[in-house]
């Protein structure tokens, strides 16, 4: 600023030392500001890439009815669980029964892989897996506990049952169909746990649903589980599979779903549709 008060003849004297010093200080100050701004720009965190929409299955945004969220279910330890009690948590809801010979042992093997993958990606704390029966008459908490032990289910992975009416209401709300059918095999298959001959089976859709922390359905897939590693199916359940079950294990009919599909959907719901990075 002192240069503005310098007489014109002094300002034109380029050999005057007193004029050079302010000019150098000004240039130094400008350079420092430019470098400082550049440094701030470089230090700014890069925007996180968008979470991709799952390649398989269907994305949606449908609120779970309040009445459905309040349906009391019972886990393998006899504790009551409702979807409402898990509000704020992402839920993976899967239908199954412990006496299925065609698909469910494969479903549970895939669910185990999903559970392991969520642990590896540090998402397991944000997610609960609820494998829920379509055979409440036979799938008691004690039976679910025995089945859980076969697959080594972790704390975030619960097996659920309930009264016949409550289970029917739950699955009807989600549009999942099932019905009892008489056993036609001769001799009839035997229960893998008790050895008692079976008198009926349950035909059902094979569905995986992801419910967001806001209590809305966010993703679903309806298809045959595609198992990448048959050794993930416990030996007792391998022996329990019938001919159709072994075929589904080796060459599942389309449409299919994999553990990676479910993990992709969970990641999309937890990090994507919730707006988290």
Q: What CATH number did the domain enclosing 154 receive?
A: 3.40.30.10
Q: Quick one: 39 and 91 in the same domain?
A: no
Are 244 and 102 in contact by the 8 Å Cβ rule? The answer is: yes
Count each helix (H run) and each strand (E run) in the chain, helices first.
9, 12
pLDDT one digit per residue (tens) for the chain, 277 residues: 434 333 333 333 333 333 444 434 433 444 444 344 344 445 555 666 788 999 999 999 999 999 999 999 999 999 999 999 999 999 999 999 999 999 999 999 999 999 999 999 888 889 999 999 999 999 999 999 999 999 998 889 999 999 999 999 999 999 999 999 999 899 999 999 999 999 999 999 999 999 999 999 999 999 999 998 899 999 999 999 999 999 999 999 999 999 999 999 999 999 986 544 3
- Could you tell me if residue 217 is inside a domain? yes
- Could you tell me if residue 173 is inside a domain? yes
- Could you tell me if residue 137 is inside a domain? yes
Question: What is the 8-class DSSP label of residue 197?
Answer: B
Per-residue model confidence (pLDDT) at position 24: 45
- Could you tell me if residue 52 is inside a domain? no
Distance between CA atoms of residues 204 and 227, nearest Å: 19
Q: Quick one: 66 and 37 in the same domain?
A: no
Q: Quick one: 157 and 215 in the same domain?
A: yes
Q: Tell me the residue range of the domain where 37 lies.
A: 2-43
Per-residue model confidence (pLDDT) at position 9: 39
Q: Quick one: 216 and 181 in the same domain?
A: yes
Per-residue model confidence (pLDDT) at position 30: 40
Q: Which residues contact 232 (CB under 8 A, 6 or more apart)?
A: 109, 110, 112, 113
Q: Quick one: 199 and 85 in the same domain?
A: yes
In the chain, how many domains are there?
A: 2
Q: Quick one: 156 and 268 in the same domain?
A: yes
The CA–CA distances, whole Å, from 134 to 58, 100, 140, 172 equal 22, 10, 12, 11
- Could you tell me if residue 35 is inside a domain? yes
- Could you tell me if residue 177 is inside a domain? yes
């Amino acid at each position: 600023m002192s240069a503005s008060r310098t007489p014109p003849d002094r300002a034109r004297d380029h050999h005057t030392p007193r004029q050079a010093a302010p000019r150098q200080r000004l240039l130094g100050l400008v350079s420092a500001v430019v470098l400082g701004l550049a440094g701030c720009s470089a230090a700014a965190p890069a925007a996180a890439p968008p979470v991709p929409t799952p390649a398989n299955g269907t994305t949606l945004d449908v609120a779970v009815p309040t009445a459905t969220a309040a349906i009391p279910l019972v886990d393998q330890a006899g504790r009551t669980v409702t979807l409402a009690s898990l509000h704020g948590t992402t839920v993976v809801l899967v239908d199954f029964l412990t006496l299925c010979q065609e698909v469910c042992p494969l479903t549970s093997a895939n669910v185990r892989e999903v559970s392991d993958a969520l642990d590896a990606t540090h998402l397991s704390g944000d997610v609960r897996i609820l494998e829920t029966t379509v055979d409440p008459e036979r799938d008691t908490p004690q039976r679910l506990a025995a089945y859980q032990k076969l697959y080594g289910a972790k704390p975030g992975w619960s097996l659920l049952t309930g009264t016949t009416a409550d289970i029917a209401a739950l699955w009807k709300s989600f549009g999942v169909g099932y019905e009892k059918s008489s056993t036609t095999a001769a001799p009839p298959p035997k229960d893998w746990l008790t050895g008692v001959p079976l008198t009926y089976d349950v035909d059902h859709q094979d569905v995986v649903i992801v419910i967001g922390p806001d209590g809305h359905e966010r993703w679903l897939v309806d298809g045959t589980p595609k198992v990448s590693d048959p050794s993930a199916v416990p030996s007792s359940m391998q022996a329990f599979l019938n001919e159709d079950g072994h075929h589904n294990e080796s060459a599942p009919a389309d449409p299919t779903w994999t553990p990676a599909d479910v993990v992709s959907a969970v990641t999309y719901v937890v990090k994507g549709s919730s707006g988290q990075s």
